[in-house]
Amino acid sequence: MRTLCSVLGIFGMAGTYSLLYVYAMELFPTVVRSAALGSSRQLGHTGAILVPFVVVMDAGLTFMVFAVCGIVGGILMFFSARNIKHLLR
C-alpha cells in the first residue's frame, strides 16, 4: 500500500509540474508572465532541493509535511484571482 501511494504521488507531481506551464500561460497577463513563471520554477526547484532533507526525517513526520504542503496548496488555489472572479459571478 505504501508503494502504491508513493507511485501515485510521483505521477501526480509529474503531471502537476507539467501542467504548471499551461496554467501559468492562462493565469498571468503577458506583462508579468515570464517573471511569474520564473518565480514558480524557482520555488519548484527549491522544493526539490529540500525534499531529501524531509525524507530522512521520521516516517510519520515526512508524510505529515507532504500532506500539509498539499492541503495548503489546494486551499491557496481557491483564493487565486481566477477562482475568486468565478465565485463572484
28 and 43 assigned to the same domain: yes
6 and 42 assigned to the same domain: yes
- The per-residue pLDDT for 17 is 72
List, run by run, the mean pLDDT of 10-residue segments along the chain (89 residues): 82 77 76 83 84 79 83 80 58
22 and 47 assigned to the same domain: yes
Q: Is 44 exposed, middle or buried (0-12, 13-18, 19+ CB in 10 A)?
A: middle
- The per-residue pLDDT for 8 is 86
62 and 79 assigned to the same domain: yes
Q: How many domains does the chain have?
A: 2
Instruction: Judge contact between 43 and 16, C-beta under 8 A.
Output: no
Task: Note down the domain range covering 68.
Answer: 57-89
pTM confidence score: 0.53
- The per-residue pLDDT for 67 is 85
CA dist 25 and 43 (Å) reads 17
- How many residues are listed for the chain in this entry? 89
10 and 41 assigned to the same domain: yes
- The per-residue pLDDT for 83 is 59
- The per-residue pLDDT for 30 is 81
